[in-house]
Amino acid sequence: MYPYPDKKCWSGRVDSNTDNASFRLHQVVKCQTEIKSLKKGAAFYIIGFESDEGVRRNKGRIGAAKAPDKIRSFLSNLPSSILRDQALIDTGNIACEGKKLEEAQTKLGAHIHTILAKGGTPIILGGGHETLYGHYSGAREHLGAKAKLGIINIDAHFDMRDEEIPSSGTMFRQILESDKNAGYLCLGIQPFGNTKRLFLDADRLGCTYLLEEEVTENKNNEVYQAIDRFSKKHDAVILTLCTDSITANEAPGVSAPGPFGLSSKTVCELLKYIVSKKNTLSFDISEVNPLVDENEKTTRLAAYLIAEVLHSFHRS
């Protein structure tokens, strides 16, 4: 249940042991459980969430719990210049034990709150998309109840199911029905992946959304304007990427694949634009499923998208 950083996940090619310009991420990452106070934005803190209990409850494909360490292995060999001047600190994984999803989400939220309170930038590696609820909880605890907290979700699905037992498909309903100061912008919604009831509930709960066909490369100005308007309405924004938003041809190893979806290039540009915003607090990536991946294509893509986030954070 508690974080445990494992240096074994970080290994790779060594071009030099002395030339900083030749270093790769595995040569500069620090593995530690202690969260130290730093100048705001001086360090990225990686935290993994080993859970697909929410996916299981939502009747998806099990395996996302294996993603955090697998993603680390692909991050390891990327050049350390990604980081610019920031430190990279791996604080390990929080694991969902058995069916104790809510307990694991609480632990994740507390850990994220600590990172934010110490001036760090959390980078969360899911896990199923139930990762987002723990992510949200930590940001809300850090900001306090009165702050306007916006959540931007790049996703094919609203994840607003009305079900008694929380899952990877219920988080945004849970949040919006209990938190009057939370806002929700969803980019990449697929009409055939959501019932009419979900669209009606999204409207009722004040969700702003753009359909997949609206989030295309030739319409980026309109998408960016929507992001700008949403960001300006909130004191802080957290960003979550569900990898099932990406076309299955490029990301086959996800919990709920679909034949349509956004291109990885479009998703990459969206991520870079959103994290460049000064009020973006944190980022999570969810539903990468190594057990059903093809030639590790999706896991590798996830690592490269995270690298783009690290390189672009608060960089306008």
pTM to 2 decimals?
0.96
Q: Which pLDDT score, from 0 to 100, does residue 256 have?
A: 87
Cα Rg of the chain, angstroms = 18
What pLDDT was estimated at residue 84? 87
Whether 2 maps to a domain, the answer reads no
Answer yes or no: are the C-beta atoms of 47 and 91 closer than 8 Å: yes
- The pair of three-digit structure tokens given for residue 129, joined into one six-digit string: 């998309």
Does residue 1 sit within a domain?
A: no
User: Percent helix, strand and coil across the chain, each rounded to 5?
Assistant: 40, 20, 40
Residue 226 located in a structural domain: yes
- Whether the Cβ atoms of residue 156 and residue 245 lie closer than 8 Å to each other: yes
* Cis peptide bond N-terminal to 127, omega within 30: yes
Please give the torsion angle defined by the CA atoms of residues 277, 193, 253 and 312, in that order, rounded to the nearest 10 degrees: -10
Q: How many domains does the chain have?
A: 1
Cα–Cα distance measured from residue 258 to residue 240, given in angstroms and rounded to the nearest whole number: 19
Q: Is residue 194 part of a domain?
A: yes
pLDDT (tens digit per residue) in 81-137: 999 889 999 999 999 999 999 999 999 999 999 999 999 999 999 999 999 999 999
Q: Is residue 278 part of a domain?
A: yes
91 part of a folded domain: yes
Its domain, for residue 85, covers 7-312
What are the residue ranges in the chain where pLDDT is below 70? 1-2, 217-218, 316
DSSP secondary structure of 71-108: HHHHHTTSBGGGGTT-EEEEEEEEE--TT-HHHHHHHH
The continuous run of DSSP H or E covering 242 comes out as: strand 236-242
In a domain, 97, yes or no: yes
pLDDT at 178: 97
Question: Does residue 210 form part of some domain?
Answer: yes
- Cβ(79)–Cβ(25) below 8 Å: yes
The CATH number of residue 276's host domain is 3.40.800.10
Greatest distance between any 2 Cα atoms in the chain: 59
Cβ-Cβ contacts under 8 Å for 283 (sequence gap 6 or more): 122, 123, 124, 238, 239, 240, 241, 271, 275, 306, 309, 313
Question: φ and ψ at 148, to 5 degrees?
Answer: -80, 110
At residue 1, the pLDDT reads 52
